[in-house]
A and B are shown apart, each in its own frame.
Chain A
Amino acid sequence: MNRHLISAGDLSRDDAVLILDTATELASVAGRPIKKLPTLRGMTVVNLFYEDSTRTRTSFEAAAKRLSADVINFSAKGSSVAKGESLKDTALTLEAMGADAIVIRHPASGAPRRLANWITGRVVNAGDGTHEHPTQALLDAFTIRERLMPVEDQRGQGLDGVRVTIVGDVLHSRVARSNVLLLTTLGAEVTVVAPPTLMPHAIGTWPCKASYDLDAELRKADVVMMLRVQQERMTAAYFPTVREYRRRYGLDTDRMALLPERAIIMHPGPMNRGVEIAAEVADSPRSTIVAQVANGVTVRMAVLYLMLGGAGEETA
């Protein structure tokens, strides 16, 4: 494992498989009466959130607490940040208070990388701008492996040959970027589908295929991952109307019928029901949306354990 988890692209296949295998074993903890392990007792994990997030923050919090770490939540609103304190000063302050790891979400792409240069503790990227969200990609990979492979065959396995189609606002999506990097590292064949205005210009340099034809891609997908239409990041008119977006790129029951028998439907949440995904599709048995949330805690436990659980400079 690396010192920090900044980008899904930093993970080797062995690293990624180790995280998934660790998560598979940790999953059983969620089903026990005592959902707690003593492993990170005495360690402090700081959740440093400069952007609103309920799902990711609580997920990291639950993960750290299940490993017996102490958790400090620091949200930029109503804090010293509102008084003009810089990221660097905030981070050094938190480290002086004894933070062993900082989980950071920041609206600026690259903020976690900068942070990693300033502090001696570990840094976990919980989403930076439109750049990356590596733990989301890890939990998606975990969910895919869990759904498509029998549990006794999972250990040591990647996602070789699994066809994943990622649909929607690829341009603004850190989830899409991290997933493309991680899933291809694990051997999956990834295709991104987006309206031309929401397709990154440099898509040719990504390790995936690109398409504008959703219906054709759905017919051969094992996994379809719908992205949220991020109205808060859209400063220009990327598509004429929500209705038109829904008609061309939304997943409704008719489109779901095009999918192969065993294909699963994913969404990183929060969903815009009726925009990128129809309510009946989100609630169908093929949707893994609730499982993804549960798996998020497990996968983040695995990441925190592997980063903090062992001796300082590891080579494993």
Chain B
Amino acid sequence: MLTPEEIRRALTRIAHEILERTHGGEGVVLLGIPTRGVYLARRLATRIGEFEDAPVPVGSLDVTMHRDDLRLRPARALQRTQVPSDGVDGKTVVLVDDVLFSGRTIRAALDALNDLGRPRAVQLAVLVDRGHRELPIRADYVGKNLPTAHREAVRVLLTEIDGEDSVLLGERAK
């Protein structure tokens, strides 16, 4: 659904939008949601660093322990939570994820963030918004809006772990 060039351009645009909305990226912290959100956050940080000549703190936020569907599946392995050394208090935190679907992951992320400190504001950047929200959550920065059927599955592949950049649409494995 998205080619490597389209992904690259979408991230470049989001990086510009973040700078515009936050008046030059002052006090911005990017937190990626594992697994693929972390790599997207790093790519955004690299771009913002190039545009503004100032590095943006980037980290990761594992939401597993805050999920509302934990009891529905076997206990899952945890991923790394790494908060930049300056913390999140008083910062503008931009959460970064690959696909926005039900919104439940982001709800868990907001709870997880709550335990880490008190950001001045929280924003959300996603590569793909596929609709079907189950909670009142929306993204501030969207790479591409992808209308999908509920039974379909969206997969984001990234070079860092999958060997290639692409976004795939297929049937959901039952």
Contact A38:B76 (CB < 8 A) given known A32-B115, A311-B71: no
Taking a contact as CB atoms under 8 Å apart, the answer to whether A309 and B81 are in contact is no
Interface of A is mostly: loop
Using an 8 Å CB-CB cutoff, how does the interface string of B47-79 with A read, 1 for contact, 0 for none? Answer: 000000000000000100110001111111111
Taking a contact as CB atoms under 8 Å apart, the answer to whether A311 and B116 are in contact is no
Residue B117 lies at the interface, judged by CB distance under 8 Å to chain A: yes
Contact of B76 among A26, A37, A307, A310 (CB under 8 A): A310
Residue B26 lies at the interface, judged by CB distance under 8 Å to chain A: no
CA distance A21 to B65 in the complex (A): 14
Chain B contact patch, size range: 20 to 34
Residues on A with C-beta less than 8 A from B111 are 38
Within 261-316 of A, Cβ neighbours of B (below 8 Å) are at 305-307, 309-311, 314-316
Residue B80 lies at the interface, judged by CB distance under 8 Å to chain A: yes
Taking a contact as CB atoms under 8 Å apart, the answer to whether A305 and B115 are in contact is no
Chain A: CB-nearest residue to B80: A25
Residues on B with C-beta less than 8 A from A315 are 74
Taking a contact as CB atoms under 8 Å apart, the answer to whether B78 and A311 are in contact is no
- Count, chain A residues at interface, CB 8 A: 23
Residues on B with C-beta less than 8 A from A306 are 75
Q: B65, B80, B81: which has the most chain A beta carbons within 10 Å?
A: B65
Min C-beta distance of A315 to chain B, whole Å: 6
Contact of A310 among B62, B71, B81, B117 (CB under 8 A): B71
Contact A310:B70 (CB < 8 A) given known A25-B80, A38-B65: yes
Min C-beta distance of A192 to chain B, whole Å: 33
Taking a contact as CB atoms under 8 Å apart, the answer to whether A316 and B76 are in contact is yes
Contact of B79 among A25, A32, A305, A314 (CB under 8 A): A25
Taking a contact as CB atoms under 8 Å apart, the answer to whether A38 and B66 are in contact is yes
Taking a contact as CB atoms under 8 Å apart, the answer to whether A314 and B74 are in contact is yes
Taking a contact as CB atoms under 8 Å apart, the answer to whether B75 and A310 are in contact is yes
CA distance A22 to B81 in the complex (A): 12
Within 64-103 of B, Cβ neighbours of A (below 8 Å) are at 65-66, 70-82
Taking a contact as CB atoms under 8 Å apart, the answer to whether A39 and B65 are in contact is yes
Taking a contact as CB atoms under 8 Å apart, the answer to whether A316 and B115 are in contact is no
Residue A28 lies at the interface, judged by CB distance under 8 Å to chain B: yes
Min C-beta distance of A121 to chain B, whole Å: 15
Chain A: CB-nearest residue to B70: A309
Contact A26:B78 (CB < 8 A) given known A310-B70, A311-B73: yes
Taking a contact as CB atoms under 8 Å apart, the answer to whether B79 and A310 are in contact is no
Using an 8 Å CB-CB cutoff, how does the interface string of B130-148 with A read, 1 for contact, 0 for none? Answer: 0000000000000000000
Residues on A with C-beta less than 8 A from B75 are 1, 305-307, 309-310, 314, 316
CA distance A314 to B82 in the complex (A): 29
Chain B: CB-nearest residue to A152: B80
Contact A311:B65 (CB < 8 A) given known A26-B78, A38-B111: no
Interface residues in chain A, defined as those with a beta carbon under 8 Å from any beta carbon in chain B: 1, 18, 21-22, 25-26, 28, 32-34, 36-39, 305-307, 309-311, 314-316
Q: Could you list 4 further interchain pairs (A-B, Cβ under 8 angstroms) beyond the known A32-B115, A39-B66?
A: A37-B115, A38-B111, A305-B65, A309-B65
Offer 8 A-B interface pairs, CB within 8 angstroms, sorted by A.
A22-B78, A25-B78, A36-B115, A38-B65, A38-B66, A305-B65, A309-B71, A310-B70
